[in-house]
Amino acid sequence: MNDNVIHVERISKQYHIGKRQEKYKTLQDSLANALASPFRRAMKLLHGHASGASELNETIWALKDVSFEIKRGEVVGIIGRNGAGKSTLLKILSRISEPTSGFITIHGRVSSLLEVGIGFHPELTGRDNIVLNGAILGMKRVEIDKKFDDIVAFAEVEKFIDTPVKHYSSGMYLRLAFAVAAHLETEILLVDEVLAVGDTEFQKKCLGKIQNVAEEGRTVLFVSHDISTINRLCSRTIWIDSGQLRLDSLTNNVIQQYMLSQMQGCMSEIRFPSTHVNNKFQIKFIRIVSENNEPTAIVDFQNSFKIKIGYEVFEPLMGVFILSRITDLYGNIICTSWDTDTTDWEDRVREPDQYTSICTFPGCLLRPGRYLLSVGVAINRHILTYHENILSFEVSPANYCLNPGRVGIITPLFKWEVIHNGENINN
């Protein structure tokens, strides 16, 4: 028996951009336009104006020749940069959008959560929308009634279930939308980045539900920029890059290759040209140096190293925070630190001038391997600029004094004491 529930064969999707849909014209209008068009174009060129955007007829390929198969019960992640084509792919699988070429075969009912509350009717109550969504998915009323109480309890909207959803807050809307998609008994669940909208507790709740859905043997396709969540939930991952399938493999392998592709390469420094200036603040350079202040992209395991961030302030600023973040190749955030953690600059005004914020990482902390550095700037906790994975560096296995078999993202040397039984244990 074939276990494939989704078969995608050379799917492509083309979009036309820049061409305005014209209203219906009579034959007289068309003839008049044809006669006048050369004169209008000549006048535009005479006055130095190029043809307007409405006259453009450009095309882009959101997807190009994408093929894969998904087996029953698989939890598959889909990753890629913004605009790579991930959401377009899910919309085609959800039958919201038709492919330009290629075909898909799906065995089973599909429930999709691509946008918050997609498919909800704002004038209907929460109760009516649950029934409507179930009917759209082809479910019988008895199936919907069976899951109704679980949906309402999960969404935490008991008091408002008979209120039109147009009066719901965005959080209530999201909770109900996810609850409907996850609880109705469909064989395939498509989820697209919606978990980034809710609060932390709700995100945990949703992730737990997705895990439960997978354990029930249902198939899940999960799009997210949260690489660590993909790594935790999905055994297999598909990487979409510029509309094409770049890699389809075990999640660990795909994530490592994806993260490597985001890197600038091992460099000890990057400088920013003056074109990056905004009217308040500009990062001048980011530099990794050894404990002896030597620029380096290879860090000794036993020795400390520093991250130096040079910047210029153009007007008096209060509440400036410089952020450094270390991430491994699997998307796990190792640590995040602010330059106000151990200084008094949170309560001080940074006057117009040049500054360097220096973060020192202790030795014997990061296990040997490659890491990514991200740097950001916030004013009053609102991110002003963020350079993700701007540099990468290696922690050298040389002088790695710890047992390689121990597990853990970091390998710190904690202080231990061993007290002999014959000694006074109170000392």
Residue 405 included in any domain: no
288, 297 in Cβ contact below 8 A? yes
Q: Are residues 132 and 232 in the same domain?
A: yes
Domain that holds residue 124: 61-262
Residue 42 included in any domain: no
Q: What is the pTM of this model?
A: 0.61
Q: Are residues 256 and 288 in the same domain?
A: no
> CATH no. for residue 283?
2.70.50.60
d(Cα 421, Cα 40) in Å, to the nearest integer?
99
Residue 402 included in any domain: no
d(Cα 359, Cα 143) in Å, to the nearest integer?
57
Last residue of one domain, picked from the residues 206, 230, 262: 262
Count: domains in the chain: 2
Please, which residues have CB within 8 angstroms of residue 141's CB and are 6 or more apart in sequence?
A: 131, 134, 135
Q: Are residues 151 and 175 in the same domain?
A: yes
Residue 152 included in any domain: yes
Tokens of 154: 């999960």
Last residue of one domain, picked from the residues 262, 284, 301: 262
Residue 2 included in any domain: no
> CATH no. for residue 75?
3.40.50.300
Crossing angle between the packed helical segments 170-183 and 126-136, to the nearest 10 degrees = 40
Tokens of 4: 């494939």
pLDDT tens-place values along the chain, 427 residues long? 568 899 999 999 998 775 554 444 444 555 556 555 555 655 555 555 554 444 445 788 999 999 999 998 899 999 988 888 998 998 899 888 899 999 999 998 888 777 655 667 889 999 998 988 888 777 788 888 888 998 899 888 899 999 998 898 877 887 888 888 778 778 888 888 665 555 667 777 777 887 888 788 889 998 887 777 788 888 899 999 999 999 999 998 888 788 777 655 567 889 988 765 678 889 999 999 998 999 998 888 889 999 999 999 999 999 999 999 999 887 888 999 999 999 999 889 999 999 999 999 999 899 888 899 999 999 887 888 899 888 989 888 767 777 766 778 888 888 888 988 766 555 5
Q: Are residues 184 and 273 in the same domain?
A: no
Q: Are residues 258 and 275 in the same domain?
A: no
User: What is the DSSP annotation of 131-172?
Assistant: HHHHHHTT--HHHHHHHHHHHHHHHT-GGGTTSBGGGS-HHH
Q: Are residues 296 and 217 in the same domain?
A: no
Q: Are residues 87 and 166 in the same domain?
A: yes
Nearest to 310 by CA among 360, 364, 369, 359: 359
